[in-house]
């Protein structure tokens, strides 16, 4: 009934028989989260190169979350080298490592050796907040008429 486009970075088109879930509000937020967490090898709309995102842990631990997410182009070898070095020092994490709790916990409890209990608790809290991120959903039956769909979403 409605044209749609996939979340940035998803390349597999849904089958016609599948239920299609449309994002009517929050597309940019969901695109950003997907892109950061899954690292598709595809440039974002308007960019020439794909990007990788890192979580700089010192600003996180200083409660300066607005300064904690760093993106760098795949072509920016200096930027990539800088953040890859911070990852080796356990002062940053590739954002993609946050999507899987097992990977994150393995890093936190077995691999890293600089963050103590207090810092670990803060990092766990950030990880849990990301995993508990809720997206409001309204489910409509396939028989819902176009004008009813428009009315529903105009009222929200």
pLDDT tens, position by position, 83-121: 999 999 999 999 999 999 999 999 999 999 999 999 999
> For residue 23, is pLDDT > 90?
no
Cα atoms in the 13 Å half-sphere on the side-chain side of 101: 7
Quick one: how far is CA 109 from the chain centroid?
23
Asked whether residue 136 is assigned to any structural domain, the reply reads yes
Q: What is the model's pLDDT at position 14?
A: 64
Alpha-carbon separation of residue 17 from 2, 5, 124 (angstroms) = 15, 17, 39
Number of Cβ within 10 Å of residue 92's Cβ equals 23
Q: Is the residue at 123 inside a domain?
A: yes
Q: Is 59 part of any domain?
A: yes
Q: Which residues constitute the domain of residue 57?
A: 49-148
Instruction: State the pLDDT at residue 45.
Output: 78
Evaluate whether residue 137 is within a structural domain.
yes
What pLDDT is stored for residue 139 in this prediction?
77
More confident residue, 3 or 125: 125
In this prediction, residues 54-79 reach a mean pLDDT of 94
Number of domains in the chain: 1
Q: Residue 109 domain-assigned?
A: yes
Residue 66 belongs to some domain of the structure: yes
Evaluate whether 95 touches 65 at the Cβ level (below 8 Å): no
Q: How much is the pTM?
A: 0.77
Q: Is position 132 within any domain?
A: yes
Domain membership flag for residue 63: yes
Taking residues 49-55, report their average pLDDT. Answer: 93
3-state secondary structure of 77: helix
E strands within 44-143?
51-56, 69-73, 92-94
């Amino acid at each position: 009934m409605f044209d749609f486009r996939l979340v940035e970075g998803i390349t597999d088109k849904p089958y016609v028989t599948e239920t299609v879930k449309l994002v009517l509000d929050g597309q940019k937020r969901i695109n950003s989260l997907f892109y950061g967490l899954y690292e598709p090898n595809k440039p974002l709309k308007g960019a020439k190169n794909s990007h990788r995102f890192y979580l700089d842990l010192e600003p996180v631990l200083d409660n300066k979350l607005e300064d904690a997410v760093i993106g760098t182009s795949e072509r920016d070898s200096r930027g990539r080298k800088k953040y890859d070095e911070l990852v080796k020092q356990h002062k940053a994490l590739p954002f993609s490592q946050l999507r899987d709790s097992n990977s994150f916990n393995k890093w936190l409890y077995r691999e890293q050796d600089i963050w103590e209990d207090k810092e670990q608790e803060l990092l766990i809290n950030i990880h849990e907040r990301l995993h508990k991120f809720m997206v409001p959903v309204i489910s409509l039956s396939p028989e819902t008429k176009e004008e009813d769909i428009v009315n529903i979403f105009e009222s929200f």
